[in-house]
Amino acid sequence: MVPGARGAFEVFVDGRRIFSKLERGRFPTEEEILEALDRPG
């Protein structure tokens, strides 16, 4: 976790960002995270 002032919530896996609340304006669903983990990257 990295504290921030803008309410950022970003999910990184092996240095690859798989979700950004700042870009989408919402939190990810569990399904979105699992699908992103299955994608090659």
**Tens-place pLDDT, residues 4-37:** 666 788 999 989 999 999 999 999 999 999 999 8
pLDDT grade for 2, boundaries at 50, 70 and 90: low
pLDDT score for 5 = 67
Q: Tokens 């309410």 map to which residue?
A: 7
Reading phi first (left if > 0) and then psi (alpha if -120 to 50, else beta), residue 15 is in: left
- The predicted model scores a pTM of 0.70
Structure tokens at 12: 């990184």
pLDDT score for 15 = 92
